[in-house]
Amino acid sequence: MKHTRADLLHLLAVCDAVSEPTQPVREALALGYDRAELVEPTLSSTRALVASMDHEDGTLGPHVVVAFRGTVADTQEETATNVLADALAIPTRPLGLRLPGRVHAGWWALLGKVYDPVMRVVNGYKPSTLWVTGFSLGGAMATGFWLVEPDSRCVTFGAPKLGTRRISRALDSDNVTRVALRGDLLARLPSSPYRHGGRAIVLPGSRHSRAEYAEVIGRAAPGLL
């Protein structure tokens, strides 16, 4: 699936909103959403913003978007949880899915803590189209969410690798897009046996930051997107 520059910048702006420490819902409403809710499971560093746009606005049209926060943490406890999840890079069977291959155990466990409460909000909004997105670790979470909800449309930014070769094959869908800067080393992690999947949009640039991604996408030639 091809995406316009406006599509990508809009989804990246929602990634910015979920990373705001104090007013992510207000930030989502400022982007034109009609309703938004922040999902933060207790004793977890995971955070997801679920926002609903009921009207036509740009090429995304009416939709619900789920945006997962990256490695930003507001407390020492959340930082410790992120570090532990990153370190638990053991390939494991994706619990709850009948898929071949293995996924990053730490990140899959984080997704397991937030998936049910996110879906309760999503189902309440009754989306005609469901988008899922995230930057960095949030991109890995979004990728995992798509494996559970393959009817959604997934766009990630600077995401690390979530699964092994067979999982990467499961991600080879028109509904999965991965945006990465060519010199972003963090987007190449973790190393083998993990692999990326989905349609790749690789752009010039090197810094692992949402601001850098926004700048590069904003000036990219349409043919690259």
Domain harbouring 58, CATH code: 3.40.50.1820
Residue 74 reports pLDDT greater than 70: no
Number of domains in the chain: 1
> Residue 82 has what pLDDT?
62
pLDDT classification of 78: cutoffs 50, 70, 90: low
Q: Is 25 or 88 the better-scoring residue by pLDDT?
A: 25
Total length of the chain: 225
User: What pLDDT is stored for residue 77 in this prediction?
Assistant: 61
What does the mean pLDDT of the chain come to?
Answer: 89
Domain residues for 31? 5-224
pTM of the model: 0.93
Burial class (CB in 10 A: 0-12, 13-18, 19+), 66: buried
Over 70: is that where the pLDDT of 119 sits? yes
Candidate from 46-55, 75-84, 88-97, 162-171 with smallest mean pLDDT? 75-84
pLDDT (tens digit, 9 = 90+) per residue, 160-194?
Answer: 999 999 999 999 999 999 999 999 999 998 999 99
Q: In what order do the strands lie in the sheet with 153-157?
A: 35-39, 48-53, 63-68, 130-135, 153-157, 176-181, 199-203
Q: Average pLDDT, stretch 98-126?
A: 92
Average pLDDT over residues 136-152: 96
